[in-house]
Chain A
Amino acid sequence: MKGQHKEVLFGLYNDEEVLMSAIKKAKKQHLDIMDVYSPFPIHGMDTVLELEESRLHVVGFIFGMTGTLTALIGISWIFGGSLMFDGDWPTLFGGKPYWSLPAFIPITFEMTVLFCAIGMVVVFYIICGLGFGVNNPILDDRITDDKFCIAFQTNGMDEADMDKLKGFFSATGAEEVHTKTI
């Protein structure tokens, strides 16, 4: 998609309830919504938009498990005393076994949480295409304030289809309709 300009027709709504019923209508009319933008997350919008459930929790689980294993295997490898490892540098503390699992639990837990959090946050920014220095095109400056936006991509669309979309916006109570090339 890089380098290709998108022609966008978008309508701005004043309220999320109006927006939601507009999305429902668009879905009923089989209009191909490019994207919906809002200043805050709207409860139930992902179902209306038929968005797939996010799999971030799977990412979190995998990273968390990586943390658990890193800590457990790391400590076991260093201290030894278990069936798996002889120990890189076994040390005796207070006459306790070299491999004293209960004492390894706190660090294992912290590493699980640390890996899970960092992994999830980094993956979140990567899959959303966000990051320091990223400048995504903004349709309207008020979308992060109090406007709710439905956008359609109109590349190569004929007059009749455009009019249909404009008709949709006026029928669903959009306050403003604009076009923009991003």
Chain B
Amino acid sequence: MSAAVSRIREPLIEGHKNYHQITEDLIGPTEKAPNMMWIVAFTLSVITLGYGLFSLCWTFYFGIGAWNANRTIGWAYDITNFVWWIGIGHAGTLISAILLLFRQRWRTGVNRAAEAMTIFAVMCAGIFPATHTGRPWFDFFMFPYPNTRGPLWVNFNSPLLWDLFAISTYFTVSLLFWYTGLVPDLATVRDRAKGVRKKIYAFMSMGWTGKAKHWQRHEYLSLILAGISTPLVLSVHTIVSFDFATSVIPGWHTTIFPPYFVAGAIFSGFAMVQTLMVITRKCFSLEGYITTNHIESMNKVILVTGTMVGSAYLIELFVAWYSGYVYEQFAFYNRVLGPYYWSYIGMMGCNLLAPQVFWSKKIRRNIWWTFFISIFVNIGMWFERFVIIATTLARDYLPSSWSYYWPSWVEIGIYLGTFGLFFTLYLIFARVAPVVATAEVKAILKQYGDQYLGPDAQPHHHHRHDEEEADVHNDGDEKHHH
């Protein structure tokens, strides 16, 4: 507990909060009528979602011929978008699971929103492969079940099937993890609500009372779920990379793909968390909970993973040259200097170069820089997937089948539609549930809040005199134990 705290570290909760103040700050937004900004954002999201649905219906009616994917470039915009959304969907579980195991307390400020983001991003991702099958009403064929078609079973040796299992498992486990964490906070909303709202939240909070035994089991459950989610989150993008790495296409079949995809996923996921958090903390006045330190920690992760991804790009080039295999060499020559050179520049510039500004502490702690770099990273990671997928396929073994790809309005519509879906869901979530894990923030307040009362606390931090004595005593005790 407190023994691990160094006073050199800045507090994770600012503004001299007490428990009730935390409740007011975090539950409050769910109790007020939405402001104009929310209504405008929500309307725009729903309109975009509507356009996406229209484009989807168009695809279902006319078939995937409505897309510009062709025989040479069979995977293009849709799979790019799929991998992009899946990557974004990695930050939530990473923050809640891996950072929980590593005892990174700053996760409490952002984990709830990041987990919600994960779930919504995976929902968006799922739309693309489901639609790409061309006949989505037969998608249940992908699940192995005793059937009257032979029985014809699915191919358990195929990375595409592994992907189906990985993503449905990831979605389910993330949803369970997120909702179980949310239950105590929904109980807090319930106990403050009246009338119909109280009834709804009573239903949603499953009768949570905060019993000691329940908390003990809840802690256990969270820890074990974190333990199994950690390899899960790493496996998901590893398996996504197998979709490419196990193929025989030069430019795809590289062994570096799994770690490089995982690093890229963390990279893009954190970027999206930053984009959302910078806006969310401003709209809900959560600066005391999602502090500059949180922003800085996440920027450090972005810097590290961005540099890892960048190194992977360079290693790929080196290995292609070193392999002495002309097709591999051509694939990479084509990637850098071929018809899609602009997407390679976009990828390198946004993913490798842009995050390097975060070496400067000043920039890491600057909200505007953070916001813009996070947007750059989101764009760059989209380019990365486009480079890998479309650029590689555009120049295959037969020059007669070389092709160029550009998305049709239908494909762009579906992509925009997923943004609509994502933001619609996120905006609803931000209205109806606390965006910061209230109980978890309260649990770290004493140790990581700025009214720290331990033996070496600075005197001007003493604000809650009534609890001072107990605290000092306890912290001394704790140090002794560890």
Please, how many angstroms separate the alpha-carbon atoms of A135 and B206 in the complex? Answer: 7
Check A152 for interface membership: any CB of B closer than 8 A.
no
Most chain A Cβ neighbours within 10 Å, of B183, B209, B218, B446: B209
Contact assessment for B212 and A49 in the assembled complex, using a CB-CB cutoff below 8 Å: yes
Partner of A120, one of B151, B153, B221, B470: B221
A78-122 interface (Cβ within 8 A of B): 78-79, 88-89, 91, 93, 96, 100, 103-104, 106-107, 109-111, 113-114, 116-118, 120-121
Check B321 for interface membership: any CB of A closer than 8 A.
no
B406-448 interface (Cβ within 8 A of A): 439-440, 442-443, 446
Please, how many angstroms separate the alpha-carbon atoms of A138 and B217 in the complex? Answer: 19
Closest chain-A Cβ to B122's Cβ sits at a distance in Å of: 14
Contact assessment for B19 and A39 in the assembled complex, using a CB-CB cutoff below 8 Å: yes
Check A160 for interface membership: any CB of B closer than 8 A.
no
Most chain B Cβ neighbours within 10 Å, of A37, A56, A113: A113
Q: Which residues in A have their C-beta under 8 angstroms from that of B402?
A: none
Contact assessment for A78 and B20 in the assembled complex, using a CB-CB cutoff below 8 Å: no
Closest chain-B Cβ to A152's Cβ sits at a distance in Å of: 14
Q: Which residues in A have their C-beta under 8 angstroms from that of B184?
A: 39-40, 144
Contact assessment for B165 and A143 in the assembled complex, using a CB-CB cutoff below 8 Å: no
Q: Which residues in A have their C-beta under 8 angstroms from that of B208?
A: 130, 136, 144
Check B176 for interface membership: any CB of A closer than 8 A.
yes
| Residue of B with least CB distance to A21 | B470
> A107 and B161 in contact (CB under 8 A), knowing A17-B474, A144-B188?
yes
Categorize the interface residue count of chain A.
35 or more
> A146 and B20 in contact (CB under 8 A), knowing A43-B1, A107-B156?
yes
> A100 and B157 in contact (CB under 8 A), knowing A38-B215, A132-B204?
yes
| Residue of B with least CB distance to A121 | B176
Contact assessment for B188 and A145 in the assembled complex, using a CB-CB cutoff below 8 Å: yes
Q: Which residues in B have their C-beta under 8 angstroms from that of A171?
A: none
Q: Which residues in B have their C-beta under 8 angstroms from that of A17?
A: 467, 470-471, 473-474
Contact assessment for B235 and A106 in the assembled complex, using a CB-CB cutoff below 8 Å: yes
| Residue of B with least CB distance to A74 | B144
Check B210 for interface membership: any CB of A closer than 8 A.
yes
Contact assessment for A41 and B215 in the assembled complex, using a CB-CB cutoff below 8 Å: yes
> A41 and B207 in contact (CB under 8 A), knowing A21-B470, A93-B157?
no
Contact assessment for A130 and B216 in the assembled complex, using a CB-CB cutoff below 8 Å: no
Please, how many angstroms separate the alpha-carbon atoms of A17 and B190 in the complex? Answer: 26
Check B213 for interface membership: any CB of A closer than 8 A.
yes
Check B342 for interface membership: any CB of A closer than 8 A.
no
Check B291 for interface membership: any CB of A closer than 8 A.
no
Partner of B156, one of A103, A137, A146: A103
Check A156 for interface membership: any CB of B closer than 8 A.
no
> A125 and B206 in contact (CB under 8 A), knowing A21-B470, A41-B215, A107-B165?
yes
Contact assessment for B180 and A124 in the assembled complex, using a CB-CB cutoff below 8 Å: yes
Check A42 for interface membership: any CB of B closer than 8 A.
yes
Partner of A138, one of B159, B191, B221: B191
Partner of B191, one of A106, A133, A141: A141
Please, how many angstroms separate the alpha-carbon atoms of A136 and B210 in the complex? Answer: 11
| Residue of A with least CB distance to B199 | A135
Q: Which residues in A have their C-beta under 8 angstroms from that of B9?
A: none
Closest chain-B Cβ to A139's Cβ sits at a distance in Å of: 8
Q: Which residues in A have their C-beta under 8 angstroms from that of B176?
A: 117-118, 121
Closest chain-A Cβ to B433's Cβ sits at a distance in Å of: 14
Q: Which residues in A have their C-beta under 8 angstroms from that of B221?
A: 56, 120-121, 124
Contact assessment for B470 and A18 in the assembled complex, using a CB-CB cutoff below 8 Å: yes
Contact assessment for A128 and B217 in the assembled complex, using a CB-CB cutoff below 8 Å: yes
Contact assessment for A145 and B216 in the assembled complex, using a CB-CB cutoff below 8 Å: no
Please, how many angstroms separate the alpha-carbon atoms of A124 and B184 in the complex? Answer: 14
Contact assessment for B225 and A36 in the assembled complex, using a CB-CB cutoff below 8 Å: no
| Residue of A with least CB distance to B239 | A106
Please, how many angstroms separate the alpha-carbon atoms of A145 and B21 in the complex? Answer: 9
Please, how many angstroms separate the alpha-carbon atoms of A104 and B162 in the complex? Answer: 9
> A60 and B228 in contact (CB under 8 A), knowing A89-B151, A120-B221?
yes
> A146 and B474 in contact (CB under 8 A), knowing A40-B442, A89-B150, A135-B207?
no
Q: Which residues in B have their C-beta under 8 angstroms from that of A111?
A: 165, 169
Q: Which residues in B have their C-beta under 8 angstroms from that of A146?
A: 18-20, 23, 442
Contact assessment for B144 and A78 in the assembled complex, using a CB-CB cutoff below 8 Å: yes
| Residue of B with least CB distance to A89 | B153
Check B476 for interface membership: any CB of A closer than 8 A.
no
Q: Which residues in A have their C-beta under 8 angstroms from that of B162?
A: 106-107, 110
Most chain B Cβ neighbours within 10 Å, of A104, A111, A118, A128: A128
Contact assessment for A114 and B215 in the assembled complex, using a CB-CB cutoff below 8 Å: no
Check A35 for interface membership: any CB of B closer than 8 A.
yes
Check A176 for interface membership: any CB of B closer than 8 A.
no
Partner of B228, one of A36, A113, A127: A113
Pull 22 A–B residue pairs with CB atoms less than 8 Å apart, ordered by A: A15-B470, A16-B446, A18-B470, A35-B211, A35-B212, A39-B442, A40-B215, A54-B217, A54-B220, A88-B153, A106-B239, A113-B229, A121-B180, A121-B225, A133-B203, A134-B206, A136-B207, A137-B209, A138-B209, A141-B192, A144-B187, A145-B188
Nearest first, the 3 closest Cβ-Cβ pairs linking A and B are A134-B207, A146-B19, A17-B470
Q: A37-B209, A40-B442, A146-B23 are in contact. List 18 more A-B contacts (CB 8 A).
A: A18-B467, A38-B212, A38-B215, A40-B184, A40-B215, A56-B217, A79-B156, A89-B153, A100-B157, A104-B156, A106-B242, A116-B224, A130-B206, A131-B207, A137-B209, A143-B191, A144-B184, A145-B192
